[in-house]
Structure 1
Amino acid sequence: MELILKNVKKKDFPVLKSLAKSLGFEIEEKDKPYNPEFVKEILEAEQSIR
C-alpha cells in the first residue's frame, strides 16, 4: 500500500518521519519545484509591468 501525505508542516515532518521509521515504513521524499517555463513567464510579466 502507498500513502501520500500532503501539506505537512516542516515542524511536523520529523515526528512523522520518526514514527514511520519506528514502524518499518519506507520513506520517499519528493519536492515538486515550479515548472521553469512558468517561472520565466511570471518573471517576464513582472518586468513588463515595471
Structure 2
Amino acid sequence: MARHDVGRGGYLYVTANQLHRQDKYQGGADLRTYPYFLFRVAIGAGPVRLR
C-alpha cells in the first residue's frame, strides 16, 4: 500500500509502508522489516494533495 503526495519544488513523494506484512494479515506474525521507505521523484508539478 502506498500514499502519494506532490510537494513543494515539484516532487512526488511515495511511501512503501509494508502494511500487508502486519500481524493482522499474517496470522499473528509481524513480518515488517526496517527501514521503511519514502521515495521522492521530480515531476515538475505544483503542490497537490491526493486522497
Give your verdict on TM over 0.5. Answer: no
TM bucket, shorter chain: under 0.3
Q: TM-score if structure 1 supplies the norm length?
A: 0.26
Q: Which has the higher contact order (CA 8 A, sep 6+)?
A: 2
Higher strand share: 2
Q: Which has the larger radius of gyration?
A: 1
Higher helix share: 1
